[in-house]
Amino acid sequence: MEEQQRRALRRGRARLVAALRVEPLWDPLEQRGIFTRLMLEKLQSAGSREEQARQLIIDLETRGKQAFPAFLSILRDTGQGDLAEMLIRECESLPVPPQLPDLRPVELELREEKHPKDVTPHERLSIPVQERPQIPAVLAQGSAVDKRSRDQGYKMKADPCGRCLILNNVNFSRDSGLSTREGSDIDSEKLERRFKALHFTVLTRRNLKAQEMVLELLSLSRQDHSALDCCVVAILSHGCQTSHIQFPGGVYGTDGKPIPIEKIVNYFNGSNCPSLRGKPKLFFIQACGGEQRDQGFVVDCDSPEEEAPGGSLESDATPFRLPSARVDEPDAVASLPTPSDILVSYSTFPGFVSWREKLRGSWYVEMLDSVLEQCAHSEDLLSMLVRVADAVSAKGRYKQIPGCFNFLRKKFFFVCD
């Protein structure tokens, strides 16, 4: 779908949610191949008519070039031509955004040969990259940590210091409509190796359905962490937008069913996981926050601009179905705020895609692993995540910037040999 059409849907969403009659749309949407029957059943289970309409408009943006004109035609056929005309007016009133070469989110094939001078602009995007990510020298040096700063941080004296669970979804069911996440095993191996080096007991699970993911997370949250100082959860999967109260985004099981991030985080909060109260709970999410592709903006900068690592990248973006229940039980007895001591690090800004390469893994995990290796002995976690964000933001023709929701009360330093 063209960006102008996406923006028209977004600008007209409020009126569509208020007035759209969704019931007559389901059969025509399936007959024209815009949605599968399984997708429509998920939409129909989203809740009220308004919630179904809202999610339909969000998901429609992901359904290809023919989705917008087909939707307009179906609106007219079902007696809702006024809404079709409204969308046409919105589309015509929007300026046409500048067009970049069509970078479809498919696998990146890294080229080893040198590029001839007469390559096309699209071909010029597929350039060889170094075998190992480099952090600028001025950033990689790292000064010695002030002992007072460490003493004021979280206590990290246990060995192992905590448990780390890695959920790595690569292959998805055919009915889910989700693509294979090639390169994710590289991410998983890097994280497993890195957190073992940082004195964590690591458990890696691969290709789990949504309910299986929930059971693994619940199992971890219900274990006794009294003798440990920390807990880490890393999730590598397709991601999506979601309505939320606390933490945005959701991740998919291999069966195509979504799990909200805030549901995952709340398994470990002060109410649900008493043995981790007052201890840092760290979540690293390699997944898309939505379908938007960030084209960036031009800045004046003294630092050299990094070339794009490839012309064909894969994203982990898919639409999200609104959860039917979003109410959490209050924490009646807690000595600290319920969501305290939690940090959720996202590979990308909410609403935007997160890029992954077939041969190197994701940009986010690649830089996170590199920064942890070079700086964990001398810097706290938040400082390192700023480095990760800076390094990832410099990559690629399309842009990406990681970020975090931080509710830690103290500085966090990993244990290094």
Instruction: Classify residue 274 by its DSSP letter.
Output: G
User: Residue 238 catalytic?
Assistant: yes
Q: What token pair was written down for 393?
A: 């933001």
225, 238, 240, 404: which is the annotated catalytic residue?
238
Q: Are 349 and 177 in contact (CB under 8 A)?
A: no
Q: What is the CA radius of gyration of the chain?
A: 23
Name residue 356's beta-bridge partners. Answer: 314, 362
| Contact by Cβ (8 Å): 351, 290 | yes
For residue 240, indicate whether it is catalytic: no
- Answer whether 356's CB lies under 8 Å from 181's CB: yes
Sign of CA dihedral 358, 134, 294, 209: positive
For 277, the enclosing helix (H) or strand (E) is none
Sorted by sequence, the CB contacts under 8 Å of residue 258 that are 6+ apart come out as 210, 240, 242, 250, 251, 252, 320, 321, 323
Cβ pair 186, 255 in contact under 8 A = no
> Which contiguous run of DSSP H or E holds residue 60?
helix 49-60
How far is residue 2's CA from residue 218's CA, in Å, rounded to a whole number? 41
Angle at 208 between CA 203 and CA 211, to 5 degrees: 110
For residues 239 and 220, the answer to whether their CB atoms sit within 8 Å is: no
Q: Could you tell me if 218 and 167 are in contact, meaning their C-beta atoms sit under 8 angstroms apart?
A: no
Q: Is 396 helix (H, G, I), strand (E, B) or coil?
A: coil
Please name which of 188, 131, 202 lies closest in space to residue 361, comparing C-alpha atoms. Answer: 188
Tally of CB atoms within 10 A around 168: 22
277 close to 337: Cβ distance less than 8 angstroms: no
Whole-number Å distance between alpha carbons of 276 and 405: 18
- Alpha-carbon distance of 281 to 277, in angstroms, equals 9
Active-site position among 91, 164, 230, 288:
288
Q: At what angle do helices 37-44 and 49-60 cross, to 10 degrees?
A: 140
The Cα 168–Cα 359 span in angstroms is: 16
Catalytic site positions: 238, 288
